Amino acid sequence: MIAQEFIEANEQYAANFTKPKINARGVIVVTCMDPRIHPYEQLGLKIGEAAIVRNAGGSAEDALNSILVAQYAFNTKHIAIVHHTDCGMTKFTTEWLRNKIKEANPGRDDVAKTVDGIDFHNFTDVEASVQRDLKYLVENPLVVKGSKVTGWVYDVENGKISQVGDVIV
Ligand SMILES: [Zn+2]
């Protein structure tokens, strides 16, 4: 169902395709996978201008591999962490999700052990979660020295972003 919709939508897209130029603005944006988040529109980015990493919550820790690729392979010096209000990651706990996965795999000690080692980086306060990620990046010795890290909260009620942090690594 979805796959067929993708194929049809892509046929339309490709019919009007113009190859975008890479015009990198030197920023990697880390944000949530929530379907209400549209980083291009909400941050004024055009295709070709920024690396964008999306995961559950917009966790910097989950995005570390990609951040390091952007920094060391593509010389990206600005990391922007964008979390948002009403995030799904505020609606359950890591412990609850671990238990759901264990229940789906009864008798599998290997699964239980693996999942106990995963932190899903849930949070209750969105601004505090951005600050936690800024602290994580500043204290991480792998992040390129001199990098700028900015923290943002996007409000899903009114479409506005607020800057809540700005640090140099
Ligand atoms: Zn979210």
Distance (angstroms) between ligand 1 centre and the Cα of 8 equals: 28
Distance CA 35, CA 123 (A): 19
Q: How confident is the model at residue 23 (pLDDT cuts 50, 70, 90)?
A: confident
- Of the given ranges (17-26, 39-48, 75-84, 139-148), which has the lowest mean pLDDT? 17-26
- Domain range annotation of the chain: 21-87+123-168
Detail the residues annotated as belonging to a binding site. 32, 34, 84, 87
Q: Each residue of 96-136: pLDDT tens digit?
A: 999 999 999 999 999 999 999 999 999 999 999 999 999 99
Distance (angstroms) between ligand 1 centre and the Cα of 84 equals: 6
What does pLDDT average to over the chain? 96
Distance (angstroms) between ligand 1 centre and the Cα of 96 equals: 17
pLDDT of residue 24: 87
Distance (angstroms) between ligand 1 centre and the Cα of 18 equals: 31
Distance (angstroms) between ligand 1 centre and the Cα of 34 equals: 5
β 148-154/161-168 pair status:
antiparallel
**Mean pLDDT across the stretch 132-141?**
98
Radius of gyration for the alpha carbons in the chain, expressed in angstroms and rounded? 18
Q: What class has domain 21-87+123-168?
A: alpha beta
